[in-house]
Amino acid sequence: MFRDFTEGAAAADWTVPQRWEHFTAEEHRVWDLLFSRQQARLAGRTVAPFERGLDVLRLSRPGIPRFDELNERLAARTGWTVVAVPGLLPDEVFFGHLGQRQFPAGNFIRSAQSLDYLEEPDVFHDVFGHVPMLTDPRIADLLQAIGRHGVEAAATGTLHRLSRLYWYTIEFGLAREQGALRIYGAGLASSFGEAGFALDDPRPWRRPFALREVLRTPYRSDSFQPGYFVVDCFDRLLDQLETTDLAALYAELEGEA
Query: What's the pLDDT tens digit per position in 142-172?
Result: 999 999 999 999 999 999 999 999 999 999 9
For residues 104 and 194, give the distance between their C-alpha atoms in angstroms, rounded to a whole number.
Answer: 23
List of domains in the chain: 20-253 (1.10.800.10)
Answer yes or no: is pLDDT of 1 > 50: no
* Predicted local distance difference test score (pLDDT) of residue 256: 81
118 pLDDT band, cuts 50/70/90, is confident
Higher pLDDT, 176 or 61: 176
What residues pair up with 227 in beta bridges, in sequence order? Answer: 205
Q: 83, 97, 212, 87: which is closest to 147 by C-alpha?
A: 97
pLDDT in tens, 122-136: 999 999 999 999 999
Answer yes or no: is pLDDT of 117 > 50: yes
pLDDT in tens, 27-77: 999 999 999 999 999 999 999 999 999 999 999 889 999 999 999 999 999
Higher pLDDT, 245 or 118: 245
The DSSP string of the chain is -PPP--SS---TTS-----GGGS-HHHHHHHHHHHHHHHHHHTTTB-HHHHHHHHHHTTTSSSSPPHHHHHHHHHHHHS-EEEEESS---HHHHHHHHHTTEEEEES----GGGSS--SS--HIIIIIIIGGGGGSHHHHHHHHHHHHHHHHHHHHT-HHHHHHHHIIIIIT-EEEETTEEEE--HHHHT-HHHHHHHHH-SSSEEEE--HHHHHT----SSS--SEEEEES-HHHHHHHHHHS-HHHHHHHHTT--
113 pLDDT band, cuts 50/70/90, is confident
37 φ, ψ (degrees, to nearest 5): -65, -45
Share the mean pLDDT of the chain. 93
Contact 51, 43 (CB under 8 A): no
